[in-house]
């Protein structure tokens, strides 16, 4: 189990590095896709930006892109610090995650996206930069404009899916029916992926056996995650 702010670093056959860490009191999971040759560091939902910047600097790297799964406060916690420490960073999220009417509510926090994805719910587009290629799937329900990102051996689920369950749908901006459509679509994506890919949840919660793993494999999630096996779909 990763300690707070500890980085798991894996290098794929394609040369892309994937760093995964867990940060903060809500055990937020962050993933970074790193193309060293082209100097690209794309971080999903960075929580503690100082920690990220220090960790990357140890290897002569710095953040170039932030990719947001959604704009709940705990997922954009690191935004302000990141744009002050790395002012040239590109900030990506889904167009529908610009929830201006909901920003007043305590669960959301404003992020000034420099670029947005605009695909329809339950559709995917490719985000490509250097040798990094990620599939971005619009998966609303837990929050407006929620996306998942997968590629390079990982499926970063955000708060759509945790290892054993799914994100709550009782918050302002939540849509339970959309959530079930998103879960159903996610299941079809997961079934198409190599079974040993890692499902990185938005938060590190308990698994079926009472342990608290940082991630599970796609095969394990498909077999045991209660939402992916729900009769609601």
Q: Which residues contact 59 (CB under 8 A, 6 or more apart)?
A: none
Residue with tokens 């029916």: 177
Question: Among 77, 96, 159, 220, which residue sits at the site for Fe ion (rule: CB under 5 A)?
Answer: 159
Residue with tokens 């007043």: 104
C-beta closer to Fe ion: residue 185 or 203: 203
Which helix (H) or strand (E) segment holds residue 9: the answer is strand 8-11
Contact characters 60-79, Fe ion, x per CB under 5 A = ------------x-------
Which helix (H) or strand (E) segment holds residue 34: the answer is strand 28-35
Number of residues that bind Fe ion (CB under 5 A): 2
C-beta closer to Fe ion: residue 53 or 160: 160
CB of 155 to Fe ion, least distance (A): 17
- Interacting positions 34-63 with Fe ion (CB under 5 A): none
CB of 38 to Fe ion, least distance (A): 31
Q: Using CA atoms, how far apart are residues 127 and 124, in angstroms rounded to an integer?
A: 10
C-beta closer to Fe ion: residue 12 or 24: 24
- The answer to whether residue 204 forms part of the interface with Fe ion (CB under 5 A) is no
CB of 151 to Fe ion, least distance (A): 22
For residue 50, the tally of other CB atoms under 10 A from its CB is 13
Inter-residue contact 111 to 79 (CB < 8 Å): yes
Which helix (H) or strand (E) segment holds residue 86: the answer is none
- The answer to whether residue 156 forms part of the interface with Fe ion (CB under 5 A) is no
Give me the residues that bind Fe ion (CB under 5 A), please: 72, 159
């Amino acid at each position: 189990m990763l300690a707070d702010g500890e980085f798991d670093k894996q290098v794929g056959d394609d040369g892309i590095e994937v760093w995964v860490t867990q940060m903060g009191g809500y055990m937020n999971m962050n993933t970074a896709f790193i193309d060293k040759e082209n100097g690209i560091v794309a971080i999903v939902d960075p929580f503690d930006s100082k920690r990220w910047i220090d960790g990357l600097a140890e290897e002569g790297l710095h953040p170039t892109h932030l990719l947001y799964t959604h704009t709940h406060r705990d997922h954009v916690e690191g935004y302000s610090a990141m744009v002050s420490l790395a002012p040239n960073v590109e900030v990506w999220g889904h167009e529908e995650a610009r929830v201006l009417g909901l920003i007043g509510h305590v669960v959301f926090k404003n992020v000034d996206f420099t670029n947005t994805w605009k695909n329809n719910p339950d559709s995917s587009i490719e985000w490509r930069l250097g040798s990094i290629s990620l599939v971005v799937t619009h998966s609303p329900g837990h929050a407006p404009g929620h996306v998942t990102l997968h590629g390079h051996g990982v499926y970063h689920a955000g708060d759509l899916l945790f290892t054993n369950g799914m994100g709550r749908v009782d918050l302002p901006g939540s849509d339970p029916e959309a959530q079930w459509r998103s879960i159903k679509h996610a299941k079809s994506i997961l079934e198409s992926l190599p079974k040993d890919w890692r499902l990185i949840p938005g938060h590190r919660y308990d698994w079926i056996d009472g342990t608290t793993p940082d991630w599970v494999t796609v095969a394990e999630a498909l077999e045991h995650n209660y939402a992916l096996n729900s009769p609601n779909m």
